[in-house]
Structure 1
Amino acid sequence: MELNTATLLSIALVSLTILVSVLRRKSASSSKKRRPPGPLSLPFIGSLLHLLTSQPPVVLRDLAKKYGPVMYLRLGQIDTVVISSPVEAQEVLRDNNLNFSSRPSLLATEIFCYDNMDIAFAPYGAYWRMLRKLCTMELLSVRKVRQFAPIRDSETMSLVRDVGAISRSGRPVNLASVLMSCSNSITAKAAFGEVCSAELREQFLSAMEVGVRLGGGLSIGDLFPSLWFLDIITGLKRRLWQARRQTDAVFETIIAECEARREKKKKTSTATTEDDDVLSVILRLRDEGEIEFPSGNTNIKAIILDLFIGGTETTATSVEWIMSELMRNPEVMAKVQAEVRRVFDTKTPQDHEVLIEELCYMRMMVKEVMRLHPPLPLLIPHFARETCDIGGFEVTAGSRILVNGWAIARHPDYWHDAEEFIPERFERSKVDYKGTHFEYLPFGSGRRMCPGSNFGLAALELILARLLYYFDWSLLAGTRPDEVDMDMVVGATLKRKNPLNLVVTPYNVPMES
């Protein structure tokens, strides 16, 4: 009896072990089955080879055609889910917005963005909510953006004068160079007022270029956390810290000058005057305690840095893409230029920004270019705080989420002749920049939508309108419209691979230019 009992007990234990093993395999199989489909994952590197290209949005769009709108990629040691359809984008950005409202921490943002204290990469929580409130209610509100109109007017007329000088020299215009200089000046004066010299702006611009170029999230440490030390060996970390120290030096100088200017105002006047620039607003709010704002200069630098990157890089590159499409489509160029000149003729330059509202075709054309060439083609990565279902598949906690806005805006189920440049498609369309139409996400959607879209668009539209009004543009001799190079390179933003150089002829340029 004891032998039989022992035997039965042994059999029971073995059976239990087998049952647990089978259930584990079944559970793993079920879990694996529910995970989004994706391409073959190689040992150690996973699917990383697919992204070793200057055009990841295109590659990811092509892969999604095979594997579906919710696609799994193992990028090194990181689980990544790519969203390529408006329906699933809505699930991520609206229906499960809170779960995906945080950001992954990347090497470049930790160093260059002051330990993720900026609004773009700050983890979701009380600090980020405070930043968001600060931006939407104070720094980049509609009222504040309107207040910057004199700066936009002055700096875009300086751009007109610069382009006019180049035209008189007979040289072609390197659009990337003049646009970056103009958008940087607008942002600098909006952020700091008159205390930021041209020399300081140039120093900051060069440092920002390094940070943006290295900020794509594909460093070795970002993809292989266990190999973090290789970013030290390759020198990536050193280059990022050099850029950080360069921006620090500029910021420290400017903040000190702004503090001194504010102290001088207090002593010379008892009247309360409205702050003109963003930095002065931040310092006033800090001093008066009107908002729970961390008082350290590091927090201030992180906020201003975001404004610079968003207001300079994306504005300049977007205008360059617009001009590229216009040179490829002469009939659209003729139509939009005729509209601008009809509206602006007989008006003073001071009237131009107010008249932008009347440039309906130009604004449709801008929307179309932002559809084909969104500033952030993969948006900014989201981070899954908890495991949830998207599109019927399980997205595990800790996964990085890439929303392929570039592919979504070319989705043939939502856009007729999706690859074609047709501004008229927006003539009766209700689609706008607000992120409520998930087939069109140039500025994202939901909690982490770009808070500076109004600031950027106001500058972009005035720059473009004045370039079209004051000048005629043509390609270099021997170049046909269908030969315009449209190759792109994607880092943190979508840029032209090669600068656009154009021949310019003045039209009705003011005498002082």
Structure 2
Amino acid sequence: MNGTLRLPPGPRGLPIIGSLHLIGSLPNRGLHRLSKTYGPVMYLKLGLVPTVIISSPEMAELVLKTHDRCFSNRQPSEFGLLYGSKGFAFIDYGPYWRGARKLAVSQVLSSGKVMSFASIMEEEVHLFMENLKEFTIDGAPLVSIKKKVASMLGDVMCRVVLGRKCMEARINGDSSFGELCREITGLLGHFNVNDFMPFLQWLDVHGVRRRGKVVLELVRGFLEKIIDEHVVDDDQGSESSGKDFVDFLLSVMDDKEGEWTTSGFDFDLSHIMSILMDTIVGATDTLPCGLEWAFTEIVRNPAVMAKLKEELVRVIGDERRVIKLTDLPELKYLAMVVKESMRLHPVGPLLAHRSTEECAIGGGLYIPKDCNVLVNVWAIVRDSQVWENAEEFMPERFENSEMDVRGSDFRVLPFGSGRRACPGMNFSLTMIPLVLANLLHSFDWELPEGVSPSMLDMQEKYDGLAITKVHPLVLKPVLKT
């Protein structure tokens, strides 16, 4: 194919390091800056790794929809390979990936399943709100919004998946389960020179392999104990806590006539552990990060805060009532705020894929086989040719709009699109507005002394798989009377 087509344009690069020196600490911004020179499809070498950068909705649709079969694999990383090939988050597309993802989506992450867990989500939010109210009785100090909600959001997922809350459970008296899960997301996205210069792998320059082995051993050991407890409960016929995802996966493993066995797969405990990790780990960092960005924009824009409060008073009324999932469809402006936050602050700014074959993409260009392909979602949402006032937070742009953030519109892709779209989108789109609505309805929120909304620090850092705030959002909750 490449005899008649050419590679996309891009910077020439240096020997060995390629164009790594041009990217900087915020790759979403560095790649966006380069795309202004070389266009919406750009080819470069990151170290020794051939990479194509996609920076427009039209080209994103070609990669994620039109030719998605060619770009359904994940780009490999040293820690990703260490993390495992028996889950569904980072392995290549194929029969096993389809089956493993189907298990998680059908039992935990589909829209219908998420709504079936309404009682768990509402109960945890209610407990969280009551604890926060107790916290304010004697005059609450400043609190980190992300840190405050992270444990609660993780516990919701743990109850659904593992049958118990365990984010704060200590492992070996050192780190908590939640802290270790967040460290895994950091290691998965940590810059590791070994990924770009394979000849240096023996050095473990950044210590990713060394630390990764320790963290994974601790997390897997913790999950193994929980699985063993489920096995014992099942043997004893215990029904005290009902059936959860662990029980379902154990039943799949034990079904010798089931789909997995008849398809030739030896589904064992290692597969169960990997699927559990994929389901839980994704909710422990990126979801709280997305909620923090939304809260930051609300506080930073007093007019938006005022409209949200007016809507909550009009629709909900009693400030002592905990808002439930059934209330959310009536909170139209809140839905617009969440959409706009996800547009302006896509937590995962780079959608990482890998080509399985050469693919012509139009304009006389092609993407070679075994090439990393990064869709720069962050660049797409800041394109003035795509969005009016692209850098401004304007929830009203979604008023009377059918635009969806689930991957059908390639101008806004907070969860990706196509076969490798984030399976946790339904959970995120449910929990973020539910938590925001309750926090805003029951409390007023004061900034630190001497800080005005316009002074809020919006600096970013690329932290693992997500873009997070350099300085966490800290506010003082004041219970409404």
Q: TM-score, normalised by structure 1?
A: 0.87
1:230 is displaced (CA, Å) by: 1.9
Runs of 4+ in 1 over 6 A off after TM superposition: none
2:157 is aligned to: 187
Aligned to 1:135: 104
**Residue correspondence of structure 1 range 225-264 to structure 2 within 5 A:** 225-231=198-204, 234-264=206-236
Q: Which amino acid aligns with 1:219?
A: N
For 1:194, what is the secondary structure of its paired residue? coil
Where does residue 376 of structure 1 map in the other structure?
348
Alignment match, 2:126: 157
Structure-1 residue corresponding to 2:148 = 178
Rounded to whole Å, the distance in 1 between the matches of 2:358 and 2:479 is 59
Aligned AA (1:108): F
Instruction: Tell me by how many angstroms 1:223 deviates.
Output: 0.5
How do residues 220-369 of structure 1 correspond to structure 2 at under 5 angstroms? 220-231=193-204, 234-265=206-237, 275=243, 277-288=244-255, 289-292=257-260, 294-346=266-318, 349=321, 352-369=324-341
Judging by fraction of residues, say which structure has more helix: 1
The gaps in structure 2 that reach 5 residues or longer are none
Give, in angstroms, the shift of residue 348 of structure 1. Answer: 8.1
Contact 2:151 2:168 in 1 (8 A): no
Amino acid in the other structure paired with 1:390: I
In the TM superposition, what is the alpha-carbon distance from 1:360 to its structure 2 partner? 0.5
User: How far is 1:384 from its partner?
Assistant: 0.5
Residues 287 and 169 of structure 1: CA distance in aligned 2, closer, same or farther (over 3 Å): farther
Alignment counterpart, residue 423 of structure 2, candidates 445, 451, 456 = 451
Distance (Å, rounded) in 2 between the aligned partners of 1:206 and 1:335: 36
Q: Distance in 2 between matches of 1:341 and 1:315?
A: 26
Deviation by residue 1:243-292 (Cα, 9 ceiling, x = unmatched): 101111211111111222223336x79xxx973x2222222233335442
Question: Structure 1 347/281 Cα, relative in aligned 2: closer, same or farther at 3 Å?
Answer: farther
Distance (whole Å) between structure 2 residues aligned to residue 370 and residue 128 of structure 1:
27
TM-score, structure 2 as length reference: 0.92
Tell me the amino acid that sits aligned with residue 166 of structure 1. F
Taking the aligned partners of 1:47 and 1:244, their CA distance within structure 2 comes to 32
Kindly state the Cα deviation for residue 139 of structure 1 after the two structures are TM-superposed: 2.9
**Contact 2:91/2:97 (8 A) holds in 1:** yes
Amino acid at match of 2:412: Y
For 1:306 and 1:263, how far apart are their aligned partners in 2?
27
Cα-to-partner distance string for 1:157-177 (whole Å, 9 max, x where unaligned): 222123223333431111121
**What RMSD, in angstroms, separates the aligned Cα atoms of the two structures?**
2.2
- Taking structure 1 as reference, are residues 127 and 62 closer, same or farther at Cα in structure 2, changes over 3 Å only? same
CA contact (8 A) 2:184 2:281 kept: no
In structure 2, which of residues 13, 16, 21 is the aligned counterpart of residue 49 of structure 1? 21
Write the distance in 2 (CA, Å) between the matches of 1:154 and 1:130.
32
Structure 2 counterpart of 1:357, one-letter code = P
- Which of the pair has more CA radius of gyration? 1
The reply on whether 1:478 has 2:447 as its aligned counterpart is no
In the alignment, the residues of structure 1 paired with residue 370 and residue 191 of structure 2 have an alpha-carbon distance, to the nearest angstrom, of 17
- Give aligned-pair identity as a percent: 36
